[in-house]
Chains A and B, each alone.
Chain A
Amino acid sequence: DAKTTQPPSMDCAEGRAANLPCNHSTISGNEYVYWYRQIHSQGPQYIIHGLKNNETNEMASLIITEDRKSSTLILPHATLRDTAVYYCIVRAKTSYDKVIFGPGTSLSVIP
């Protein structure tokens, strides 16, 4: 079973920041938080990951709480192309650790 909980859906106005929350209260010390997104009928796309420090790349920022029990993915300026299902996943940083998907959050960016 997935180790995370996310709201099933969210809306965001185009050009505004999209903040997607994720709860992972049972995360283990060696587990990282990964975010992926899936645009309709495509394979999931990797976005970002982190352990305990906040992370930023060209796609998004990841804010992890100090107790690591929750995190927020931030898309700073959402566009229509960011409409997708976003998945928050926790897994160990080893290549053979399973990637288990929960239901994710369906983000709709509205013009």
Chain B
Amino acid sequence: GAVVSQHPSRVICKSGTSVKIECRSLDFQATTMFWYRQFPKKSLMLMATSNEGSKATYEQGVEKDKFLINHASLTLSTLTVTSAHPEDSSFYICSATGGQTEAFFGQGTRLTVV
């Protein structure tokens, strides 16, 4: 299947700082990318959908100023957690779709805010 690479896999940051997570489609052009967060023993919760070159669409309850999403090219989307706090600690996962019908997922980023 297609490959989606997410970086970093783990990050620890201090409270109040910002963290950027990258999501790259390595062997296809991702016209749409999705960002999720997942708490322990819970399912994935969709945060936002981004289409290349346009603003992201956020799910209800997700703060767009808190979670900045950029999808500037067909192979790269970034999620920036601004002014991170301990409650933002979570597992963040990206997904990408393009010409294929199925969505492919990155390996996830474990964010810990201390």
Interface residues of A, Cβ cutoff 8 Å to B: 32, 34, 36, 38, 41-46, 49, 85, 87, 93-96, 98-104
Contact = CB atoms under 8 A, between A and B. Distances in A.
Interface of B: 1, 4, 6, 31-32, 34, 36, 43-46, 49, 51, 91, 93, 95, 97-108, 110
A95 B99 contact: yes
Given A41-B91, A87-B43, A96 B51 contact: yes
Contacts of A98: 34, 46, 49
Contacts of B45: 101
Is chain B's binding surface mostly helix, strand, loop or mixed? strand
Given A95-B98, A104-B43, 5 more contacts: A34-B102, A41-B91, A41-B110, A42-B108, A95-B97
Question: A-B pairs with the 6 shortest C-beta distances?
Answer: A43-B105, A95-B97, A101-B44, A96-B32, A44-B105, A93-B101
Contacts of B102: 34, 46, 49
A62 to B, nearest CB: 13
Is chain A's binding surface mostly helix, strand, loop or mixed? loop
A100 B46 contact: yes
